[in-house]
Structure formats: structure tokens, C-alpha cells
Amino acid sequence: MSAYPHPPIAREGWLFLGIAFGLALIVTGAAGFLWATPPWLFFAFCVQFFRDPARPIAGNARSVLAPADGRIVAVEPAHDPWLQRDALKVSVFMNVFNVHSNRSPVDGEVRQRWYHPGKFFSANLDKASIENERNALWIRTADGRDITCVQVAGLIARRILCYVDQGTSLLRGQRYGFIRFGSRVDVYLPLDALVNVTIGDKVSASATILAELP
């Protein structure tokens, strides 16, 4: 299955890139390249932060894919606060050097979306899942399995972007949102899901299989 098409530089970063590039050109012309080094470095940082490379889409209809790039910081039984059920939680922490585009972990329909304002603790802490700003999607697969996918803001993240809502049909690996500047994504799975990752594993959005649904 081919990757969902999108620009190689995320559209969420075009404004930042334009400002950084323009500032770097102005300072270079006015004061020379040495004085312009900081704005050029900021431009380079924006390019790497907002990159959004095409990715292969792994697995099959029963696969639950990583919704984000990063490192696994939690694999544990947990209470799903959105669907009020016991679940397995798998959490992916994104630092500022990871790709921050978010992709659907499964094929399914968005049954509900919730947004909850909150605090901005470091996203690698467990309390970030229940205290930070977050946006949750309840996705139901064609065979009736429920997945909750939660975008969580981090210490310096100040903007969660989500482009889908109730009634939207998603394909696994389809791009649906973005979080700026460090964050995490929590995935709540049915208790009988077979988890394929452990804490510390590095994962790639849509290319890594987090779990399999029986």
C-alpha cells in the first residue's frame, strides 16, 4: 500500500519557514553571513522539524500502526478515560527532532472527537496523558473494534491540529493532524490486542506495527 500523498514539507510549517528564510536573507544582506548565522540555523531547524516524508504503510486491516514517529514510553494496562473502559495503552513520545505529522493507526470511522484544554508538562511524563492539552479520536474499525488515538501537547508544544471529525472515514496511515514542537500520542487498544512493541523502541508513523487485533 502506498503512502498517503502530502507535501514533503508539512503545510503547518510554511509560515515559519517563510518568516525564517526572509529574516535570514534580510540579516545576510544588511550585516553579512556571520551575523545571519542564527536565523539561518532557525531556518534549518524549521526545515527538519516540519519535514513530512512519505512512508510505507505496513500490515493489513487488523494491524494497528504507529500514529507518530518517536519512542515508546508506555505499554501498559490502563483506563481509557474517553470510552470508559479497561484497555491497553501504548504511548509514543515525539521530541523536537522527530517528524510531527500524525497518521491514523487503523482503517475505520471516527465515531467521536473530544478536545480537552490542559497544562503543558513534558510529554514523556505519565501525567501528561491526563493533565496536558489533548485531542482524542474514537475510531471504530469495520469489524467493530474500538481504538482511541489521543494527541497530547508537550512542554513547549502549544498547538494541536486535527483535520477530521465525527463521521470521517480514515485509512491506516492517512494523515489527519499535526502537533507543533514536542508532544506524544496515546493509543488505547482492546485488551485482547497483541502488542508488538516495548518501552524504548523507536517507531515510525504508519511504517511500524504497534499491535495486531485478533
The domain locations on the chain are 11-49, 63-212
**Catalytic residue (choose from 63, 129, 183, 204):** 183
What crossing angle do the helices spanning 37-49 and 14-31 adopt, rounded to 10°? 160
Average pLDDT over residues 114-134: 71
pLDDT in tens, 25-34: 999 988 888 8
Give which of 81, 168, 66 is closest to 116, Cα–Cα: 81
Task: Give residue 32's pLDDT.
Answer: 86
Q: What percent of the chain has pLDDT over 90?
A: 59
Task: Count the neighbouring beta carbons within 10 Å of the beta carbon of residue 11.
Answer: 12
Percent of the chain with pLDDT over 70: 87
Phi and psi torsions of 37, nearest 5°? -55, -45
Pick the closest to residue 12 from 129, 210, 204, 160 (CA basis).
160
Distance CA 24, CA 122 (A): 31
Domain 63-212, architecture per CATH: Distorted Sandwich (2.70)
pLDDT of residue 151: 94
Check if the beta carbon of residue 72 is closer than 8 Å to that of residue 201. Answer: yes
Distance CA 203, CA 183 (A): 14
Note the pLDDT of residue 1: 38
129 is catalytic: no
Comparing CA positions, the residue from 102, 70, 74 lying closest to residue 88 is: 74
Given a cut of 50, whether residue 2 has pLDDT beyond it is no
Given the C-alpha cell 525564517, which residue does it identify? 20
Per-residue confidence band for 158, with pLDDT thresholds at 50, 70 and 90:
low
Asked if residues 132 and 120 have their Cβ atoms less than 8 Å apart, the reply is yes
pLDDT confidence band for 157 (50 / 70 / 90): low
The predicted model scores a pTM of 0.84
pLDDT at position 180 is 75
pLDDT tier at 128, thresholds 50, 70, 90: low
